[in-house]
Structure 1
């Protein structure tokens, strides 16, 4: 095997988060959209410390003993984060807060409260905030406290002399009260952090003592669940028990405000057992993901809404299943209305011809219309089989809740193997019409979730193609049997690409065909759009194709371990990244095939977890009109010179030359699909 190079996945992801900051910097964006990008950056970084930093810390300790000369990913990650945090602070304090102030919205940021609003703030403190405050004196011998994950706290030093000083830990109850409090007076809006409301009134809380210092902090903890393979009980019960422990995980980050006295820092580090975590000096305020909820309602401060297009031809059909029987159709969320997908499930629930419904659920909406339709279907006497993935990170509790409700309604609930996630997004409806069995199915690149469908770009195929749907039925039969017996068996998928069966092998064969074509002087190219690209066997195969002369165009939203543009290895590979108003989420695979493109859509990123530890489904696009539509969408994204950046050999985000015509792909795709004429059959 060739000695190829790969970029570190965690450093790559951090550079993607830097791309989010680039949006927050853009002066042409509405001010609150820029604020929202800061919120997304902050939320992403919290998740990084919960999910990836424990891995980095463990590998760092291991490499010091085994490969001391190995690149120090921990040091590089901390350096990148520090630079990004400084940039975050400058964008927020130097650009966005002054912009809001120009519109008579004053977000009070590390500054005293104006005298004119102090009485109102104190009234709010006494009537609303004080009820939730729970000070803990850490100076008492034997006193212990366990700060919850990503909750906000103050360390309050009381007493004027070091010898008599005591330290009190005080919660900032942002999990129970809004993070921001708004007061409007004489046409001027003031927005105050909950933190500052408490700071301003500390002397009223500690009436008989002098407050000598008040310092904010938060602790981020490892989020992994410890699922035991040998556990023989109900998986949902095991996960519920583990969820109670998730916020008790190892501390990976202790983030504190500047200028905390060294003695206080040492005291709290030892008192709370934080010696093994990353101790980081941040700003005065933490959890700035809360900026998403900033109470600002200025005209033009947010994107104007793009109304999703509606399939008029489908609306005119009395049955969605009759419509699907006539043709394959595809929906591109959020550009097109998700109501058609809801209708698919709703109609299946009440259609007297429907006998069975099978569906995989990975992340569902908190108030899911789709799950309610499945419950109704079971109540209406239909056999409903739902593969619920309980191990969908941070959605476990929601999925358990819905699984219990469905089970109570008579839905057959299937849980995946403990070591294997089911990440496929497929649904199958079996009908009996005039004595004949007919199938209708959904195959999607994203979750069946009407909430995220409003801002995730995904592609959902509706089809009655028996070649695809028979294989979907075989997959559901396999999953049901494996859940009961833990024993797998081979399934011969000829049309679907299914991880654990044929997905990796088929992708390799498709790349090999392009290599063979280019060697014979035939047209050869590969265009792939993914969220994440990490798996080294597939990356190595792309390097091999590049060396053979195959042109490879990649659109990778976040993690990208392939290094483009390296002579002798990847000079025929280019990588682009698009960040805009919607989250790019669809996975698309296009193989030129001597100018007869073969196109697949699906759920699978090229990550180790997707290839080796999940059930994923990618599906071919056979309809020529849909193929042309996918090609048109991808071409717009490849031509984007406003929201796209290219990635260089260091995977840095490089702005693209803004030449005419200026193309913002999401806007162009929206307009393209608005103009789409639906053929009536």
Structure 2
């Protein structure tokens, strides 16, 4: 594999975030949807600084000492981020704010408060904002101050009546008050940043002093939790303690507004120990992920809503489990209503014939009806076994909350080992019918989460196939034993592809079969849809397949370390990326198999973490009707010439020149599924 080339995962991710910016500058989109893409870009970048910049900083230090074999990409990443932030600013101030103004929405951006709303803004400041303002004098040794992660602050320089200088920190209370204040006069709407309402009224807060400088900043901190392998207490208690420390982590970015004096900049970095962090000059406003909550109610400025399609598969007659026993079903969120998935859990909780429910939960909705159904099931006397992944980054607290509630209701809660995450999305229901055990199961590409199901594209299959469900039961038995490793555990999965057991080796065998077919002149092709592609053994096998003449089409949403289109290595590999109104999330794997296509779906990306440090499940699609339906969806995505881009050898996003017929995959999928439901 040494002769193969791979793209850096972090630079690849940043180029994905640039694809988000491309949507923000797309003139055919409604203006508020373009604003939302800026919000997504900002949120993504914050996470990058919390999760990936700590790694790059560490590698950079090693590279400076000459002891790192990995390429030092920190400077390249910082340059790319700087370019993207400039582009962000041009789109926001040069395009979107003027467009909003054309629709009588005045988003005030670093400008004076108009006279016609000044009185209302002043009243809002005095009645709502002022009570949250608590200046901290940096010279006061009795008060300590620690800048919290991604919290918004002003550094304010003051001159007293005695002509003395004083420096204070003022937190902008955007976690307690809305970030934006809206007021309408006649038919004009005015929207102000909370930051500006405070900035313009500082003289009312510091009545006997002169404000000589006011500069916004925020500090982003490392999000990694320090979980101790030797810890012998309850894992949830350990994680809860670490969550309290997360916002106290090492600073990875000091983001400040332009124009801050160098003397002030040095004072802040010295005062708060920020010398090792990335010092970044940003705009005058930070946390622009808050743009998602911009208070504009004009529906003409947003996407026309696609109402979820009611499932045409399942009738109201009889038990849902009786329907599943007769045939497999597949549901495609968010195009189709999630109500049938909720019905699965609700019926399991109340059906007298159900005696056991097992499920894996990775990211749980904040107000989860699914978890409430599991609690009801336990209260109804059923044995409920739930594998809750407490280490789902940024969802730890919510998962702990629900785990406690379920445990109190009598649910058997299983936690994964500290070094192993359970990322599989499976559920199993056992019934007693006429003295016989009958099983029904869910296998999904995404979380059992009704909130994200409204905007993540995922696929959920319902089945009573004993070949699959017996292996699901064996996997739950393995998880219940709390094993740290699958090594030596006597389970031989024949149908499911399970990370830690057979997932990587089985995918390698499937690719090898395509290579063998290509060498014999037989039909050979691979189509893969993933969120992220990093793991080098599998990428190397795809390179090998390309060299053998296997035609490979890939849809990779985000991280992509495979370099396509390189002669002698990957010239038969085409990679595209689709960004549209919904977040592409489902994983699909199709192998031509000499005309007898093998189709798999599941939870696993091809990342190091998914292959080596998680329990993942991919499942075969045996039902021919479902297989045909999945292939139709994939076909539409491979034909998309509106929202898809191709990745070139530098992984740049190359727009596809739209030629008739125009095909927008997400719209095409919605129309295809709606037509099926109407028939």
CA 483–126 in structure 1, closer or farther in 2 if over 3 Å, else same: farther
1:378-425 per-residue CA deviation (whole Å, 9 max, x = no partner) reads 000000000000000000000000000000000000000110000000
Q: Is the partner of 1:300 in helix, strand or coil?
A: helix
CA 678–617 in structure 1, closer or farther in 2 if over 3 Å, else same: farther
Q: Is the partner of 2:149 in helix, strand or coil?
A: coil
Q: Distance in 2 between matches of 1:631 and 1:48?
A: 34
Q: Distance in 2 between matches of 1:77 and 1:580?
A: 25
Aligned to 2:532: 532
Aligned to 1:26: 26
* Matched-pair contact (CA < 8 Å) for 1:490–1:501: no
1:167-566 equivalences under 5 Å are 167-482=167-482, 489-566=489-566
CA 203–488 in structure 1, closer or farther in 2 if over 3 Å, else same: farther
1:608-619 equivalences under 5 Å are 608-619=608-619
CA 83–556 in structure 1, closer or farther in 2 if over 3 Å, else same: same
Q: Distance in 2 between matches of 1:532 and 1:416?
A: 23
What is the CA-CA distance between 1:123 and the residue it aligns to? 1.0
What is the CA-CA distance between 1:116 and the residue it aligns to? 1.6
Aligned to 1:127: 127
1:539-594 per-residue CA deviation (whole Å, 9 max, x = no partner) reads 00000100111111010000000000001100001100000000000000000000
Q: Is the partner of 1:173 in helix, strand or coil?
A: coil
* Matched-pair contact (CA < 8 Å) for 1:317–1:323: no
Aligned to 2:674: 674
1:502-549 per-residue CA deviation (whole Å, 9 max, x = no partner) reads 000000000000000000000000000000000000000000100111
* Matched-pair contact (CA < 8 Å) for 2:324–2:440: yes
| Cα RMSD for the two superposed structures | 1.6
Q: Is the partner of 1:273 in helix, strand or coil?
A: coil
What is the CA-CA distance between 1:314 and the residue it aligns to? 1.1
* Matched-pair contact (CA < 8 Å) for 2:21–2:41: yes
Q: Distance in 1 between matches of 2:518 and 2:131?
A: 72
CA 529–553 in structure 1, closer or farther in 2 if over 3 Å, else same: same
1:205-262 per-residue CA deviation (whole Å, 9 max, x = no partner) reads 0000000010000000000000001111100000000000000000000000000011
Aligned to 2:628: 628
Q: Distance in 2 between matches of 1:65 and 1:507?
A: 39
What is the CA-CA distance between 1:677 and the residue it aligns to? 4.8
Q: Distance in 2 between matches of 1:8 and 1:486?
A: 30
Aligned to 1:147: 147
Aligned to 1:596: 596
CA 484–646 in structure 1, closer or farther in 2 if over 3 Å, else same: closer
1:259-295 per-residue CA deviation (whole Å, 9 max, x = no partner) reads 0011111111100110010000000000000000000
Q: Distance in 2 between matches of 1:493 and 1:144?
A: 57
Q: Distance in 1 between matches of 2:486 and 2:599?
A: 33
Q: Distance in 2 between matches of 1:393 and 1:351?
A: 34
Q: Distance in 1 between matches of 2:75 and 2:212?
A: 35
| Most deviating of 115-124 and 466-475 | 115-124
* Matched-pair contact (CA < 8 Å) for 2:332–2:457: yes
Q: Unaligned 5+ residue runs, structure 1?
A: none
1:465-500 per-residue CA deviation (whole Å, 9 max, x = no partner) reads 000000000000000012699997231100000000
Q: Distance in 2 between matches of 1:413 and 1:654?
A: 47
Question: Under a length normalisation based on structure 2, what TM-score does the superposition of the two structures give?
Answer: 0.98
What is the CA-CA distance between 1:69 and the residue it aligns to? 8.9
Question: Under a length normalisation based on structure 1, what TM-score does the superposition of the two structures give?
Answer: 0.98
What is the CA-CA distance between 1:678 and the residue it aligns to? 8.9
| Most deviating of 125-134 and 581-590 | 125-134
CA 259–514 in structure 1, closer or farther in 2 if over 3 Å, else same: same
Q: Distance in 2 between matches of 1:116 and 1:262?
A: 37
CA 501–154 in structure 1, closer or farther in 2 if over 3 Å, else same: same
* Matched-pair contact (CA < 8 Å) for 2:161–2:208: no
Q: Distance in 2 between matches of 1:332 and 1:572?
A: 30
Aligned to 2:50: 50
Q: Distance in 2 between matches of 1:412 and 1:69?
A: 46
Aligned to 1:662: 662
1:412-446 per-residue CA deviation (whole Å, 9 max, x = no partner) reads 00000110000000000000101111000000000
Aligned to 1:41: 41
CA 488–297 in structure 1, closer or farther in 2 if over 3 Å, else same: farther
What is the CA-CA distance between 1:71 and the residue it aligns to? 3.9
Q: Is the partner of 1:594 in helix, strand or coil?
A: helix
* Matched-pair contact (CA < 8 Å) for 2:161–2:209: no
* Matched-pair contact (CA < 8 Å) for 1:330–1:460: yes
* Matched-pair contact (CA < 8 Å) for 2:309–2:336: yes
1:639-650 equivalences under 5 Å are 639-650=639-650
Aligned to 2:65: 65
Q: Distance in 2 between matches of 1:40 and 1:339?
A: 27
Aligned to 1:572: 572
Q: Distance in 2 between matches of 1:299 and 1:320?
A: 37
* Matched-pair contact (CA < 8 Å) for 2:59–2:72: no
Q: Unaligned 5+ residue runs, structure 2?
A: none
What is the CA-CA distance between 1:120 and the residue it aligns to? 1.1
CA 348–488 in structure 1, closer or farther in 2 if over 3 Å, else same: farther
* Matched-pair contact (CA < 8 Å) for 1:13–1:559: yes
What is the CA-CA distance between 1:329 and the residue it aligns to? 0.7
* Matched-pair contact (CA < 8 Å) for 2:446–2:586: yes
What is the CA-CA distance between 1:64 and the residue it aligns to? 1.7
* Matched-pair contact (CA < 8 Å) for 1:153–1:171: yes
1:157-172 equivalences under 5 Å are 157-159=157-159, 164-172=164-172
Q: Distance in 1 between matches of 2:177 and 2:500?
A: 46
CA 346–73 in structure 1, closer or farther in 2 if over 3 Å, else same: same
Q: Is the partner of 2:589 in helix, strand or coil?
A: strand
* Matched-pair contact (CA < 8 Å) for 2:485–2:500: no
What is the CA-CA distance between 1:298 and the residue it aligns to? 1.7
* Matched-pair contact (CA < 8 Å) for 2:641–2:662: yes
* Matched-pair contact (CA < 8 Å) for 1:311–1:678: no
1:17-68 per-residue CA deviation (whole Å, 9 max, x = no partner) reads 0000000001110110000000000000000000000001001111222357
Q: How many residues align?
A: 679
What is the CA-CA distance between 1:675 and the residue it aligns to? 1.1
1:309-329 per-residue CA deviation (whole Å, 9 max, x = no partner) reads 112441333210011011001
Q: Is the partner of 2:588 in helix, strand or coil?
A: strand
Q: Is the partner of 1:482 in helix, strand or coil?
A: coil
| Most deviating of 615-624 and 61-70 | 61-70
CA 155–491 in structure 1, closer or farther in 2 if over 3 Å, else same: same
Q: Distance in 1 between matches of 2:70 and 2:637?
A: 37
